Amino acid sequence: GYPCQTQPLIFSTFLPSAHQYLGCAFPFRGTCELRRASGRLRCDGDVMKKLIAIFAATVLAASLSACGSDDSPEQQSPTSSEVATSQASEAEETTQAAEDSKDAPAASSQQLPESATAAVDTVLAEYPGTLIGLDAKDDGWKVKVLTEDETTKVDVRTNADGSEIVKVEHEHEAHPNDVERVKAIEVGLLEAIDQAMSKYPGEFDEADLDNDDDYVYWEIEINNAINGEDAEVQVNISNGEMKLDD
């Protein structure tokens, strides 16, 4: 058997942390002997009961320690103030996006009248997208746009000074070919008009996106451009090269 002073050794050998809870502070009635041949510990009296209690206490303490070390934050439902703050933040972002849209660069042209660029700005503010056509009318302007989601083509009429939309003449689904042509644009319509009218001064009539097979260009019609004659100028959308339409 093992006297009391050796019990911590037994506990340390078979239950490493058990002597921290009981050890010799709790005297056992009975004896234990280690059978070296089998490696088993044989106890009589209430020694085995106390060893079992020690084991159970050790396992419980280890479990509690593991639970206590879990420092992951608990999920909590947002408070009403947090919800209000989130909603306010979203509203602020929406307002900022609207202001950014208003601050978008205005259309500009060195050759077109101010009413033309005003008409372009007015229509693009209502129908954001890519400008693909512009016609001068007796009572105003017609602006053609492929919407920014690339699904719709719109023809919109404005008043004479371009400040108000008068009506939407056409609104229809964009053809895939139209979308592909717009994606290839490197030289915008207003830039092409300025380029054409700088070389062939006259009175702007209309401009549209057109193509001959794989050749995609801006077709720009200028009245009284060459010796009093009208001119149709093609401007390549990729590199800005110009040529007169025969």
Task: Give CA–CA dist 45/28, Å, rounded.
Answer: 8
Neighbours of 110 (CB within 10 A): 11
Q: Which residues have C-beta within 8 Å of that of residue 61, sequence separation ≥ 6?
A: 17, 21
- The rounded distance, in Å, linking the Cα atoms of 92 and 88 is 6
pLDDT at 93 over 80: no
Q: How far apart, in whole angstroms, are the C-alpha atoms of residue 89 and residue 216?
A: 45
Mean pLDDT on 134-139:
96
DSSP per-residue letters across 185-208 = -SS-HHHHHHHHHHHS-SEEEEEE
**What's the mean pLDDT when you consider all of the chain?**
77
Check if the beta carbon of residue 193 is closer than 8 Å to that of residue 225: no
pTM above 0.75, yes or no: no
Q: Each residue of 65-80: pLDDT tens digit?
A: 655 554 444 556 666 6
DSSP 203-243: EEEEEEEEEETTEEEEEEEEEEEETTEEEEEEEETTT--EE
